[in-house]
Amino acid sequence: MQVIVETKDDQETYDGEGLPATESDIIETKDWIFDWHKEYVYPDRNRNALSLKVNVELQAMLSYVIDEGFILIKLIETAPENNHYGGLRITPPMLAVASQHSYDHGFEGYTVIHIKHNSKLISYYEELGAEFIRGDRMVLETIASDRLIQLYLKKGER
């Protein structure tokens, strides 16, 4: 999927791609927080990788499962070089990709996020339209998913 990726300081916008992760993408994550190699142990998990068209280096990874009536995001992580103020804002386009997968499966955009209990992260997801549904989960319902898709997927991908 063709996506729009912004820098955290809102100074630049890039065209990117959210595609199924390859083995070489997984190899690139060796210095990341999550052990993405372990994601291959779970046959029900789907993995997407985000890269920019101007720079093919891996920028983010997303792992999700297709559940009954929704997409469940298990992991989402940015590349270490994006963990600063001028880095890329990867969460919105990755959530847009997951939301589009939800529509592709007939789930009307319902996308559930398995969250860490971090108040800053929870507030950020709320800014993006997610709502709490229980202790470790937040949901993007149809309206929030539509908004993310409109803002972060290129026309023709929606």
Element holding 24 (H helix, E strand): helix 23-28
Domain assignment present for residue 44? The answer is: yes
Tokens 């630049």 correspond to what residue?
12
Q: Per residue in 65-74, pLDDT tens?
A: 999 999 999 9
Q: How confident is the model at residue 84 (pLDDT cuts 50, 70, 90)?
A: confident
Domain assignment present for residue 105? The answer is: yes
The token pair at 122 is 């929870």
Whether 53 has a pLDDT exceeding 60, the answer reads yes
Domain assignment present for residue 62? The answer is: yes
What percent helix, strand, coil does the chain show, rounded to 5?
30, 35, 35
Question: pLDDT at position 68, please?
Answer: 93
Domain assignment present for residue 157? The answer is: no
Largest interatomic CA distance in the chain: 40
Instruction: Give the CATH number for residue 90.
Output: 3.40.630.30
Domain assignment present for residue 158? The answer is: no
Q: Up-side HSE of residue 98: CA atoms within 13 Å toward CB?
A: 32
Our count of domains for the chain comes to: 1
The token pair at 88 is 């890329």
Q: Per residue in 18-48, pLDDT tens?
A: 999 999 999 999 999 999 998 888 889 999 9
Whether 156 has a pLDDT exceeding 70, the answer reads no
Residue ranges making up the domain that contains 76: 2-152
Mean pLDDT (whole number) for 121-137: 93
Judged on CB neighbours under 10 Å (0-12, 13-18, 19+), 94 is buried
